[in-house]
Amino acid sequence: MAFPIAQRGLLAALILAGVASAVSGSIDPYFLDVVMGVGVSVVLASSLNLINGFTGQFSLGHAGFMALGAYTSAMLSTVVAPRLGWSPALLQWVFFPFSLLVGGLLAAAAGLAVGAPSLRLKGDYLAIVTLGFGEIIRVILQNVDAVGGARGLTGVPTHTNLFWTFGSAALTVYTVWALLNSTHGRGFLAVADDEVAAEAMGLDTTRYKITAFGIGSFFAGIAGGLKGYLNPGGFSFDKSIEIVVMVILGGMGRHAGVVFAAILLTLLPEGLRELGSRSVPNPFGGAAWSLEWIKDMRMILYSLLLILLMLMRPQGLFHRGERRRQRT
Amino acid sequence: MTEFLQQLLNGVLLGAIYALIALGYTMVYGVLRFINFAHSDVFMLGAFVAWYSVEKLGLPTQSIGGGLMALLLSMSVCAVLGVVIEKLAYKPLRQRSTLTVLITAIGVSLLIQNVAQNSRLGFGPNPKAFPALFPSQQLHFGTLTVSTHQLVVLAVALSLLGLLYWIVHHTRIGTAMRALSFNATAASLVGINNDRIISFTFGLGSALAGAGGVLYAMNYPSIDPLMGTLPGLKAFVAAVLGGIGNLPGAALGGLLIGLVETFVSGTRLSTFRDAIAFGILIAILLFRPAGLLGKLKVEKV
């Protein structure tokens, strides 16, 4: 079959996700949870990369869109799904993707609503508006009893599996990649590089910004739906920051770099946790040295690492040379 | 009517504290054009320094002298800390993009929070009861009840705001600060040592945040390592609301956020008060994209 390379990559990723999902029964549940978390992070980081990296906007509210998608699909699963009387397989393979899609569309609608003010606001002001929007969503979710209030939604049936998380991750990366490499997609880069020049060339910069917000939020909504457990605290400002850090460490506007950074930053805390439960043999004989302290220190190490990286490699971990002209 | 006046008073007090923190954000933005996310953690440390000075150094509680000592101590510690943070984390990045500095600031903020939460290195995660620094008493003016702590907050906040205004407008270093924020290159051309002024700005802003932390803690029963996040976020909102980089704007923004929050707390919508602060911000920015007192810069091609 004459598929272009990117489509082949997507197909291979989907097949791989399907195979991995088929054998997932024999994987340790904790490990499976971590691996699925990686998939969700990839979706989040790649979609934010479209907004913050490629289009040059600055959103600090990605967690808010994620929350919208998460609650929508969870409500569909708890309220609508039981009334259908479908078999578990049908729920997992037909209803779940449908609920993800609805969650994504709702988040996209919200993204479009936030994209509209971005016509007038730039830089820090845009950042604070998106931050405010994310916080508003969280506070509302925390106070509406129908969705569990501050306790969060409990008893949500989990339909997430490796296929859906990695399939979505592959689809997100592919969509962002294909979009940026289309004729239409060059416009996003132009908006990021020099908005005034782009406008002078006859590009509708407004439309590009809004499109970026819409598509980015759509995938954030899907990522929310993929996350199994829900409490409003999980969608706070800190979560948005975490995603922004992934995008920046990956090198803003790099496809592979951001995916790697998402994987790395999701595995790093888990890796340090694991390391903390081990001990190293004492070279001088005697009792082995416990690495217990790492458990306490892992968040400190994480933040120190972040600062050191910014001081030494501010262009991101995976940035090779200059691809685009730096703006002054 | 009484209730209205009471709420008005509470709102002004809360607003004054927000204004103190917001001024730090806005001053740093004025000279360096970036949002110092670690500011809210300096605010938290301010409260903890006061706590330590009472619990460990044995400063007397319930006394005006002891209270002022604790306040001064935490302001000085915070000022030194602000300068150290600037020298270590932000100064090496002077020529880099704003975004790099922003992420570093987030890293510094996370570092302070996590060190503070660590039981061995910092204060541990549990909330601590905050002592009554100043003599506490309830005063009655007609039907209005005012605690002496509230009066202290008002007096300290107003004098600090006045002091700041004097420094910025009537001293050499203040003039240099304004020159730097107006045009950094031109400022260094006329012989202003930019690095020194930036350090001074950080010190000044952090001292105000420290004072804000002590005042905030005095009106709340306990302090914890994450207490800075929400007030910090709201002060930041206040700074943007007034027009970031604009000093009177930050004070006005802080006052507005404090008032709105207090009045909303008194209604049935109280649990939504954090959302409403942001809602107002978004509404105002849609109509005045540069904030209430900010000037919109016309982009030249």
Q: Write out chain A's pLDDT in tens, 328 residues.
A: 455 777 777 888 888 878 877 777 777 778 888 888 899 999 999 999 999 889 888 888 899 999 999 999 888 888 888 888 788 888 878 888 899 999 999 999 998 887 776 666 777 677 778 888 888 888 888 888 777 777 777 777 777 888 888 889 999 999 999 898 888 888 898 988 888 898 888 888 888 888 899 999 999 999 999 886 677 777 888 888 889 888 888 888 888 889 998 998 888 888 877 887 777 777 777 777 777 777 777 778 878 888 888 888 777 776 655 455 444 4
The total of structural domains in chain B comes to 1
In sequence order, what are the residues at sequence separation of 6 or more whose Cβ sits closer than 8 angstroms to the Cβ of residue B162?
Answer: none
Q: Mutate which of B282, B284, B301 to disrupt the A interface (most A C-beta within 10 Å)? A: B282
Helices vs. strands in chain A: H and E counts, helices first:
14, 2
Q: Mutate which of B29, B108, B111, B296 to disrupt the A interface (most A C-beta within 10 Å)? A: B111
Amino acid A326: pLDDT: 47
Instruction: Tell me the nearest-neighbour CA distance from B135 into chain A, angstroms.
Output: 37
For A312, other C-beta atoms within 10 Å of its C-beta total 8
A129 at interface of B, judged by CB pairs closer than 8 A: yes
DSSP E strand stretches across B92-250: 128-129, 138-141, 144-147, 222-223
Cα separation of A23 and A7, whole Å? 25
- Say if CB B131 and CB B55 are below 8 A apart: yes
Contact flag A128-B237 (C-beta cutoff 8 Å): yes
Closest in A128, A303, A314 to B96, CB measured: A314
Amino acid A1: pLDDT: 44
Determine the structural domain holding residue B261 and report its residue range: 9-287
For B102, other C-beta atoms within 10 Å of its C-beta total 22
- Say if CB B188 and CB B194 are below 8 A apart: yes
Exposure of A214 by Cβ count < 10 A (0-12 exposed, 13-18 middle, 19+ buried)?
buried
For A278, other C-beta atoms within 10 Å of its C-beta total 12
DSSP string, A169-225: HHHHHHHHHHHHTSTTTHHHHHHHH-HHHHHHTT--HHHHHHHHHHHHHHHHHHHHH
- Say if CB B172 and CB B187 are below 8 A apart: no
Which residues in chain B touch residue A144, judged by CB atoms under 8 angstroms apart? none
- Say if CB A299 and CB B114 are below 8 A apart: yes
Instruction: Tell me the nearest-neighbour CA distance from A310 into chain B, angstroms.
Output: 6
B293 within domain boundaries: no
CB < 8 Å from B in window 211-240 of A: 237
Q: Output b/e per residue, A12-29; b: 16+ Cβ within 10 A.
A: ebbeebeebbeebeeeee
Cα separation of B8 and A320, whole Å? 57
B77 within domain boundaries: yes
Cα separation of B40 and B229, whole Å? 6
B60 within domain boundaries: yes
Amino acid A40: pLDDT: 93
Amino acid B266: pLDDT: 79
Which residues in chain A touch residue B281, judged by CB atoms under 8 angstroms apart? 128-129, 132
Instruction: Return the SS3 of B56.
Output: coil
B17 within domain boundaries: yes
Q: Mutate which of B25, B99, B103, B292 to disrupt the A interface (most A C-beta within 10 Å)? A: B103
Instruction: State the residue for tokens 């007090």.
Output: B13
- Say if CB A40 and CB A170 are below 8 A apart: no
Structure token pair of residue B57: 């150094």
In sequence order, what are the residues at sequence separation of 6 or more whose Cβ sits closer than 8 angstroms to the Cβ of residue B191?
Answer: none
**How far, in whole angstroms, is CA B81 from its chain's centroid?**
14
B45 within domain boundaries: yes
Contact flag B275-A299 (C-beta cutoff 8 Å): no
Q: Mutate which of B110, B246, B271 to disrupt the A interface (most A C-beta within 10 Å)? A: B110
Cα separation of B144 and B215, whole Å? 21
Structure token pair of residue A105: 């569309």
Instruction: Return the SS3 of A280.
Output: strand
Helices vs. strands in chain B: H and E counts, helices first:
11, 4
Q: What is the DSSP letter of A289?
A: E
Find the chain B residues whose C-beta atoms sit closer than 8 A to any C-beta of A.
Answer: 29, 35, 89, 92-93, 96-100, 103-104, 106-108, 110-111, 114-115, 117-121, 229, 233, 236-237, 240, 244, 271-272, 274-275, 278-279, 281-282, 285-286, 289-291, 299, 301
- Whichever domain contains B71, its CATH number is 1.10.3470
Contact flag A296-B119 (C-beta cutoff 8 Å): yes
Q: How many residues does chain B have?
A: 301
- Nearest of B264, B235, B258, B276 to residue B13 by alpha carbon: B258
| pTM exceeds 0.90 for this model | no
Cα separation of B223 and B114, whole Å? 15
In sequence order, what are the residues at sequence separation of 6 or more whose Cβ sits closer than 8 angstroms to the Cβ of residue A143?
Answer: A149, A150, B271, B272
Exposure of A281 by Cβ count < 10 A (0-12 exposed, 13-18 middle, 19+ buried)?
exposed
Which residues in chain B touch residue A133, judged by CB atoms under 8 angstroms apart? 278, 282
- Say if CB B27 and CB B86 are below 8 A apart: no
* ipTM score over 0.85, yes or no: no
Residues of chain B with pLDDT below 70 are 296-301
Cα separation of B275 and A237, whole Å? 13
Residue of A nearest to B284 (CA): A129
- How do residues A299-310 score in pLDDT, each as one tens digit? 788 788 888 888
